[in-house]
Structure 1
Amino acid sequence: MAPSKSADLILHPVRLQILQTLLGGRELTTAEIGGELPEIPAATLYRHVATLAKAGVLEVVRERPVRGTTERTYRLELERTSVDENELSAMTPEDHRRAFTGFVAGLLQAFDRYVEDGSADLKRDGAGYRQTALWLDDEELADLVAKMQGAIAGAAANGPGEGRRRRILSTVLIPTGQEG
């Protein structure tokens, strides 16, 4: 069985990078996206942006004529970037591995771009990667997730502003199967 169309669309490594570039309410042209993703060939980038726009994941917010063509500015339609519960439950273990690999590949590429020029300072920048084990029953887990979602939603409502720097927060929660 193939993964859902939504998972295939969103978790493709190139498209995932495009989506990450637009997170945080950013509005960018394809050329601006390409400036932040120089490792992606222009033809590949334009093809994947068109795929995301056709699927409604990217919305055209402005158009302007430029040298005989039309330059479009895109915004991410965040609510169109999730895979629903029915699609997730229909995915096979291999589908999940492939989707997770795409997700992790996108994280690695974002981290590579961050550290690439040698000026990264994780402490100064508030960057990091860490892992901890939590012993939670289902109710405690649901409470933790709700609190995290509330805190993140509040911060995600912020727009660009004086002293603000765009940051990407990614979460992964994996049960180990061990019980206490």
Structure 2
Amino acid sequence: MATADLLLHPVRIRILQALFDADPLTTAQLRDRLPDIPPATMYRHIAVLADAGVLEVVEEKRVRGTVERSYRVRGEQAVVDPAARAAMTREDHQRAYTMFSASLMGDFDRYIAHENADPNADGVVYRQAAVWLTEEEFTELVGEIESAVVARVGLGRDDGRRRRVVSLVVVPDKPRTETGADASPERHT
């Protein structure tokens, strides 16, 4: 498992997103998918991810006197280590969330920039809802969402399937009180 600093870098996030649930890709193929990232920057960040064990080399072949490597994400390594997450400060979380949010905005900007992008026809969804849940109900909800997504990870490209990126953000309305229970709603009379 990795640290937030390793995974939530703007370039590394984009590399990981390009590789999530995709066939292994070479650096050249990644550069085709992410043409705005300079080649030296791409190579440097792929090396960082590979050295950390987040990317694995699945194939090497000689091409014009050099070795071309194909990479894929090691899913179990592409998450923030629980101990590292617990050690994060409020400022670390603020920075990590900002990077995550920026990556979401970048994904949407790249999608909507396509001439034939049609959010309605393409099934673009962005919604927000407020729910009142106990800690147990909250844990159950997150587990259900994760299970629903994980059950569909790895489905093949056949049968008219299109690759979609699913992101989840859960933010409490207010922090816990000192007793550990959520603050009760304010009542106005």
Length-normalised TM-score, structure 1: 0.92
| Equivalent position SS for 1:174 | coil
CA displacement at 1:113 relative to structure 2: 1.0
Gaps of 5+ in 1: none
Matches within 5 A, 1:138-153: 138-153=135-150
2:38 is aligned with 1:41: yes
**What is residue 98 of structure 2 aligned with on the other side?**
101
Give the residue type in structure 1 aligned to 2:167. Answer: S
1:179 and 2:149 are equivalent in the alignment: no
Task: Give the Cα separation in 2 of the matches to 1:69 and 1:158.
Answer: 34
How far apart, in 2, do the equivalents of 1:88 and 1:6 lie?
A: 7
SS at match of 2:67: strand
**Higher radius of gyration, 1 or 2:** 2
In structure 2, what is the equivalent of residue 64 of structure 1? 61
Please identify runs of 4+ aligned residues in structure 1 that moved more than 4 A. none
Counterpart-to-counterpart distance in 1, 2:121 and 2:9: 32
Give the RMSD, CA atoms, in angstroms. Answer: 1.6
Mapping for residues 7-86 of structure 1, pairs under 5 Å: 7-86=4-83
Identity in percent: 49
| Aligned residues of 2:2 and 2:77 also touching (Cα < 8 A) | no
Higher relative contact order (CA 8 A, sep 6+): 1
Counterpart of 2:55, as a letter, is L
Q: Residue 65 of structure 1: SS of its match in structure 2?
A: strand
More helix by share: 1
Offset at residue 88 of structure 1 (A): 1.2
Q: Which runs of 5+ in 2 are unaligned?
A: 175-182
